[in-house]
Structure 1
């Protein structure tokens, strides 16, 4: 399976956001469309938000789960 991803523009890039699923806040570093399928015959694309928290660690969440903090 090859890697497939593409960076997307977002109005909140480099701004403070909150992940509504976990309540964690941080800076939105990137929004990436990634192929998360486990088969090369079936493509499943999702938009993931990469958020850097206070400790410097990044985590991902669905882009629909972020809001301005």
Structure 2
């Protein structure tokens, strides 16, 4: 079994990005591969963690981000 969380390199780290579905902009703080399964069957996804201007972080699928 792999580690539960794995940090991934990304060309937009520490840069301004936009979450396409919500339109919220912020700084890309990390991209992490996480096991999001709650059934015992592993399901790994790449999540982008974005810090908005209020300082609050949220996550979205890495495919949902673009440079702002």
- Fold equivalence (TM over 0.5): yes
| TM-score of the two chains, using structure 2 as the length reference | 0.94
Counterpart position of 1:22 = 22
Distance in 1 between residues matched to 2:47 and 2:65, nearest whole Å: 10
How many pairs does the alignment contain? 66
Long gaps (5+) in structure 2: none
Q: Residues 26-41 of structure 1 correspond to what in structure 2 (within 5 A)? A: 26-40=26-40
Cα displacement string for residues 28-58 of structure 1 (whole angstroms, at most 9, x for unaligned residues):
0000000000133x10000000000000000
Unpaired runs of 5+ residues, structure 1, are none
Q: Counterparts of 2:52 and 2:23 in 1: how far apart (Å)?
A: 11
Counterpart in the other structure of 2:54: 55
Match of 1:13 in 2: 13
Q: Give the RMSD, CA atoms, in angstroms.
A: 1.0
